[in-house]
Chain A
Amino acid sequence: MDQQKNKKYGMVIDLDKCTGCGACMVACMAENNVAFREDETDKLLSVAWMRVYRLTNGKSFPNTQECYLPRPCQQCEGHEGHSPCVSVCPATATDYDMQSGIVSQIYTRCFGCRYCMAACPYHVRQFNWWDPIWPDGMERSLNPNVSVRMRGVVEKCSFCYHRYQTAKDKAFLEGRRELEEHEYQTACAQACPAGAIVFGDLNNPQHTVHQLAQADTAHEGKSRNPNAFRLLERLGTNTKVYYLSSQEWVRRAGDNEVKKA
């Protein structure tokens, strides 16, 4: 079999289109068996792989402006796969997959030291402080393709890796080696009613994400699109989630330390 070219799955989120509705968060929770408790108002303790943040330009009435920013795992490539969390995990519970560009999380290996949570600059990782309990009968709604996480482990967005596996299995059965763009989509991208989230292979020029992100591989994936930015780009995390916004204050909010041009 020919050696296949590595994929680099990534996302482009158009913040001009995002309505902040939260459908991505719930689609993700339903897909990935995220548990819920009676009181989830302390957001530091509330597990959500995808979280929509509310940004404001800080100006007073009536010049105030808001924007909503959905934040999945940024799937940092760092330099040759040295993403912040992967580098620190003592249990090898998280790893950078060179073939897909996805940062994995293996729950049964994780022993809950939470070093990765401290290392992640994006707060994408969350710790299970409680046993996941569903009210009677509700465990029937769980998706068998994703394992339920137990108390004491860290979890995070996987770019719906199980969907990648399912799509690949299906393609293999049909004698194909390459996936079509639509065959592997994350739950959030699929659900977004505003069409703000686009998902695909950043290495594949046929994919919409490649065209939108306009990543400059010579400069660690920095976008050539003046409206595009990545979160905390200066850290060199080389993330695979690009954001688009026509508004300067929003782009600056992606990294408040960046000097005004």
Chain B
Amino acid sequence: MKIDRRCFLSFVIGGAAGTALSPLPWKLTDDLSIWSQNWPWTPIPPKGETTYVTSTCTLCPGGCGISVRRVEERVVKVEGLKGHPVNDGGVCILGASGIQLLYGPSRVQAPMKKVDGAWRSISWDQAIAEIASTLKELRAKGQPQSVAWISDTDRGTTAELCRRFLTVYGSPNFIRTPSMQDAYEMALYLTQGNRAMAGFDLAQATFVLSFSSGLIEGWGSPPYLFRAKSVMRQKGGRMSQVEARLSKTAAKADQWIPIKPGTEGALALGLIHVMLKEGLYKKDFVETRTGGVEALRKIAGDAYAPEGVSRTTGIEAKAIIDLARAFAGAKKPLAICGRGSGRVPGFVQEYLAVHFLNALVGGINTSGGVIAVPEPDYIEWPEPEMDAVASKGMQQPRVDGAGNGRYAMTRYLLNRLPEALAAGAASPVQVLFVSSSNPAYSLVDSQSTAKAFKRIPLIVSFSSYMDETAAMAHYILPNHAYLERFEDVPAALGFPKPIIGLSKPVVSPLFKTRHTGDVVMQLAKAVGGTIAGAFRWESYEACLKQTLGDKWDALRKNGYWVDAKFAPGAFETKSKKFEFANADIAKLPAYASLKAPGDETSFPLTLMAYDSMRLTAGYIGSPPFLVKVLEDTILKKSDVLVEINPATARDLGLSDGSSAVLSTPKGNASVKVFLFEGIMPGLVSMVRGLGHTAYDRFLAGKGVNTNDLMGSVEDPGTGLEAAWGIRAKLTKA
């Protein structure tokens, strides 16, 4: 048979039509997809019995209750604990990513020692013995004060064990990392005489005036404040946000009042001026329970008349008067401060001015106001026996200068440590312990910090993660991750009642880690003498159980203990009143808005850092889920986007998405530009929490660390870190 063209085509077309009509193509497509859907590397999570463990989250000082879901021995989900007084079932974005912090790739899996610049595994016994021998040498040389300890918190048993260790060893240098807690504690102490934490009864307030505080951006305990804000708004409460940038908090407030950054304190004094002049304050409270209002009249005198304040802050005089009237006229007004998430303490005068606003409307220790929550007092250990070296060492001045001279009232000044380390021929700190904190990343001017830390001959990190400080340490003695260990949570930041939470192990430790509390005791035993004698507990768990005493059982069962009948205590000032003025306050320099450092002609713009709930900026690095959900207006590939006003961009010849170089007196960084109508012209703002060099590949090498570009600004009254911005320049790349 001859195969002609016609025959060939008929055969091909007929064959194709026949095949198409048969089930073959469909069967093949189906088989192909089934085959390609069953690659062995697509994981199939094993099934098993599901159980829930009640615990307390320790990823931030928020103190939320969590319910952790386990399938057999695996942790599969972290959820908020329903009925918990702080978060009632809600959970923040970081808390929800908790599983990634347990199983994630940045865990330090065993004790390590740096040998010739590389990490080597080392046994626990040897690591402890080696560090103890250095500690013994320093003591023998009579320099116990050259040991310092940095920790994110000074409350709770672990922190107290570290501090106790330093005390019996002979060093006063226990340093808490800076935050707005420092400034709030100072404001409460100066005016009320209470050594207390500030709690905010936001849910009951009817008018909230926030001075750049990121109420829904990580300020205080996020789930508590989110919920309280929802309740407050539901009940008809209103909120005004004073801020240079349309933050999420500003966007969700009823009123956004743009202000020249750094002048928030001037506005607070301006409001006080109007309230005093117009008699808009709670006379019964001010007359009976406060003292020194006449001095306040002088402080907020004519210099703070609306016209002058208007020039300083850029807010119209009428708006200032209206705001003062609205605030004073509300049933339960509440003023708060602490910029963004409160990572930088700030200017204490500003906190005082805002606190005075609350006092003028009687909003102190009352429903809807600021509540002085007493520091937890359940840790009652016997006074340790001190030997001569320890007593002598404890009398030495602190290396950070806190508690001395100009800084007599300040408790911790970590921001001053780099300077102290850099001065002199040898570093005044010979051994630095770092637990649950990452100062090499999170301190303002992190480059100087890292440089100064390099002068310390021995840095020991207790971090569970390979963070920046751990990376530059000499030893890492990894703590259990937060879902693997016991820990007491002595307070919930910003919560208006005393509350104790218990964090307990949900799974047994995955790696060769040890609880920092246990390691401190083991170090003490290795150093010996009175130091060993100060730690008579068998283990950290035994210590915790004994310390919590009769609360232990309730804490194990419910996860928290709350003082339901709590009533705020009396003022503890000399006059037993709230004091607008006293000898300590008089020692502080008069209020003046702090300028951003840098020269205005070569740096025409001002750079500010802002916080996002979708990034962490402290010791815990952002887990992969957080980086994944970060907006594409913040991060694009590995470039951070800085916000500028379109008007500013026009002047600079920049367009949306274009590359630029951001320079400050501290350094340069390449960035991309995001045009944002919600930012005041002349400002540049950049998110906090990027620019990591450590942690895992999901976080490291993306964006810029704002702290690298920022310069430290010292509050002249207290020495606390008060940097809110720095002069900057943006040039087309």
Determine if chain A interacts with chain B.
Answer: yes
* Distance of A48 Cα from B625 Cα, bound (Å): 10
Q: Which residue of B lies closest to A108 (CB)?
A: B37
Docked CA distance A108–B645 (Å): 48
- Choose from B48, B71, B80, B624 the contact partner of A193 (Cβ within 8 Å): B80
The residue that B698 contacts in the complex, of A36, A42, A46, A64, with Cβ under 8 A, is: A36
Per-residue contact bits, chain B 186-228, to A (CB 8 Å; 1 contact, 0 not): 0000000000000000000000000000001000001100110
Q: Are the C-beta atoms of A136 and B41 separated by less than 8 Å?
A: no
Could you tell me if B216 and A21 are in contact, using CB atoms closer than 8 angstroms?
A: yes
In contact, B629 and A26 (Cβ under 8 angstroms): yes
Most chain B CB inside 10 Å of its own CB: which residue of A40, A41, A153: A41
Q: Which residues of A from 91 to 146 have beta carbons under 8 Å from B?
A: 107-108, 110-112, 131-144
Write out the residue numbers on chain A whose beta carbons fall within 8 Å of the beta carbon of B97. Answer: 26, 30
CB-contacts of B223-267 with A (<8 A): 223, 226-227, 229-230, 233, 246, 248, 251-252, 256, 258
Task: Please judge, given known A-B contacts A30-B97, A36-B698, A190-B79, whether A150 and B680 are in contact too, CB under 8 Å.
Answer: no
Residue B551 at the A interface, CB < 8 A?
Answer: no
Do B677 and A61 touch (CB < 8 A)? yes
Docked CA distance A143–B76 (Å)? 6
CB atoms of B34 and A59 under 8 A apart: no
B29 lies within 8 A of A111 (CB):
yes
Contact B216 A194 (CB under 8 A): yes
Question: Does A178 make an interface contact (CB < 8 A)?
Answer: no
Q: Which residue of A lies closest to B639 (CB)?
A: A41
B508 at the binding interface (Cβ < 8 Å): no
Whether, in the assembled complex, A155 has its beta carbon less than 8 Å from a beta carbon of chain B, the answer is: no
Q: Are A22 and B230 in contact, CB atoms less than 8 angstroms apart?
A: no
Chain B: which residue is nearest A44 at the CB level?
Answer: B632
**B96 is an interface residue with CB less than 8 A from chain A:** yes
CB pair A61–B679 under 8 Å, yes or no, is yes
For the complex, is A39 an interface residue (Cβ under 8 Å from B)?
yes
Q: Are B246 and A64 in contact (CB under 8 A)?
A: yes
Contacts of A112 in B (CB 8 A): 33
B636 contacts the other chain (CB 8 A): yes
Instruction: Report the minimum CB–CB distance from A120 to chain B (whole Å).
Output: 20
For A191, give its contact among B34, B96, B628, B638 (CB under 8 Å). Answer: B96
Residues of A within 8 A of B624 (CB): 36
Main secondary structure of the interface of A (DSSP, over half): loop
Is B105 an interface position by the 8 A CB rule? yes
A19 engages B677 (CB within 8 Å): no
Q: Whose C-beta in chain B lies nearest to the C-beta of A56? A: B677
9-residue interface stretch from A65-73, A80-88, A252-260: A65-73
Interface residues of B in 606-623 (CB under 8 A from A): 613-614
Given A30-B625, A153-B37, does the pair A38, B698 have CB atoms closer than 8 Å? yes
Cβ contact within 8 Å between B29 and A30: no
Q: A54 touches which one: B30, B96, B631 (CB < 8 A)?
A: B631
Which of A43, A67, A150 has a CB less than 8 Å from the CB of B37? Answer: A150
CB distance A194 to B625 under 8 Å? no
A16 within 8 A of B: yes
Q: Which residues of A contact B230 (CB under 8 A)?
A: 17, 194-196
Asked if B30 contacts A193 (CB within 8 A), the reply is: no
A3 interface residue per 8 A CB criterion: no
Question: Is residue B74 contacting chain A, with contact meaning CB distance below 8 A?
Answer: yes
How far, in whole Å, are A67 and B48 apart by their CA atoms in the complex?
A: 42
Query: Are B105 and A135 neighbours in the complex by a CB distance under 8 Å?
Result: yes
- CB of A236 within 8 Å of the partner chain: no
A141 to B99 Cα, complex, angstroms? 6
A143 closest partner in B (C-beta): B76
Cα separation A112 to B37 with both chains bound (whole Å)? 11
Contacts of B78 in A (CB 8 A): 30
C-alpha spacing A19/B33, complex, angstroms: 41
Residues of A within 8 A of B251 (CB): 20, 65-68
Bound Cα distance from A56 to B96, whole angstroms = 27
Identify which of B86-94, B328-336, B718-726 touches chain A.
Answer: B86-94
A153 to B96 CA separation, bound complex (whole angstroms): 26
B45 A150 Cβ-Cβ under 8 A = no
Residue of A nearest to B42 (CB): A150
B36 touches A150 (CB 8 A): yes
* Contact of B625 with A151 in the complex, beta carbons under 8 Å: no
Say yes or no for B536: interface residue by CB 8 A criterion: no
Judge whether B628 and A29 touch: CB under 8 Å: yes
Task: Answer whether residue A23 sits at the interface, using C-beta atoms and an 8 A cutoff.
Answer: yes
| Cβ of B633 under 8 Å from chain A | yes
Q: Would you call B36 and A151 a contact (CB within 8 A)?
A: yes
Q: Which of A36, A132, A140, A195 contacts B42 (CB 8 A)?
A: A132
- Cα A107 to Cα B37 with chains together (Å): 9
A21 engages B226 (CB within 8 Å): yes
- In the bound assembly, the distance between CA atoms of A30 and B623 in angstroms comes to 12
Residues of B within 8 A of A23 (CB): 90-93, 95-96, 613
Which residue of B is nearest A63, CB measured?
Answer: B677
Please determine whether A66 and B248 come into contact, CB atoms closer than 8 angstroms.
yes
Q: Is the CB of B39 within 8 A of A150?
A: yes
B614 touches A21 (CB 8 A): yes
- Asked whether A139 lies within 8 Å of B43 as measured between CB atoms, the reply is yes
- Contact between chains at B645 and A61 (CB < 8 Å): yes
Contact B96–A143 (Cβ < 8 Å) = no
- Which of these, A60, A65, A137, A140, contacts B646 with CB under 8 Å? A60
Report which of A41, A66, A136, A147 forms a contact with B636, defined as CB distance below 8 A: A41
Indicate whether A152 reaches chain B with its CB closer than 8 angstroms.
Answer: yes
- Within 8 Å CB of B631, what residues of A? 54
Kindly report which residue of chain A lies nearest to residue B641, judged by CB atoms: A41
Q: Provided the pairs A139-B43, A150-B39, A191-B96 are in contact, do residues A108 and B632 lie with their beta carbons within 8 angstroms? A: no
CB of B253 to closest CB in A, whole Å: 10
What residues on B are CB-neighbors of A40 within 8 Å?
A: 627-630
Give Cα A106–Cα B39 distance, bound, in whole angstroms: 17
Interface presence of B46 (CB below 8 A): yes
**Contact partner of A43 among B30, B626, B632, CB < 8 A?**
B632
A192 at the interface (CB under 8 A from B): yes
Cβ of B625 and Cβ of A152 under 8 Å apart?
Answer: no
List, in ascending order, chain B residues with CB within 8 A of A41's CB.
630, 632, 635-637
| Distance between Cα atoms of A238 and B639 in the complex (Å) | 40
Asked whether any CB of chain B lies closer than 8 Å to the CB of A201, the reply is no
Is A203 in contact with chain B by the CB < 8 A criterion?
no
Return A19 CB to nearest CB of chain B, in Å: 4
Q: Which B residues are in CB contact (< 8 Å) with A64?
A: 246, 677-678
**Which residues from A are CB-within-8-Å of B37?**
107-108, 150, 152-153
Any B CB within 8 A of the CB of A31: yes
A 144-182 contacts with B by CB, 8 A: 144, 147-148, 150-153
- Cα-based distance from A62 to B647 in the complex (angstroms): 12
Residues of the B chain whose Cβ atoms lie less than 8 Å from the Cβ of A139: 43, 45
Across the interface, do B46 and A144 meet the contact criterion of CB distance under 8 Å? yes
Q: Taking the complex as formed, is A209 at the interface, i.e. its CB lies under 8 A from any CB of chain B?
A: no
Asked if B547 is an interface residue, CB under 8 A from chain A, the answer is no
Chain B residues near A39 (CB, 8 Å)? 637-638
30 pairs from A and B in contact (CB 8 Å cutoff): A17-B230, A19-B226, A19-B613, A21-B93, A21-B248, A22-B626, A30-B625, A31-B77, A41-B636, A54-B631, A56-B677, A61-B645, A61-B647, A61-B678, A64-B246, A66-B251, A131-B39, A131-B41, A132-B42, A132-B43, A140-B74, A140-B103, A141-B99, A141-B103, A143-B45, A143-B76, A144-B48, A150-B37, A152-B37, A191-B79
Report which A residues bind B (CB closer than 8 A): 16-17, 19-23, 25-27, 29-31, 33, 36-43, 46, 48, 52, 54, 56, 58-62, 64-68, 107-108, 110-112, 131-144, 147-148, 150-153, 187, 190-196
The 6 closest A-B pairs by CB, nearest first: A193-B90, A142-B45, A193-B223, A66-B251, A19-B216, A64-B677
Q: A27-B91, A42-B632, A193-B91 are in contact. List 14 more A-B contacts (CB 8 A).
A: A19-B216, A22-B93, A30-B625, A36-B625, A38-B698, A56-B678, A64-B678, A65-B251, A66-B248, A142-B76, A150-B37, A152-B33, A193-B92, A194-B216
Q: Which residues of B contact A (CB under 8 A)?
A: 29-30, 33-34, 36-39, 41-48, 71, 74-80, 87, 89-93, 95-97, 99-100, 102-105, 216, 222-223, 226-227, 229-230, 233, 246, 248, 251-252, 256, 258, 510, 613-614, 624-633, 635-638, 645-647, 677-681, 696-698
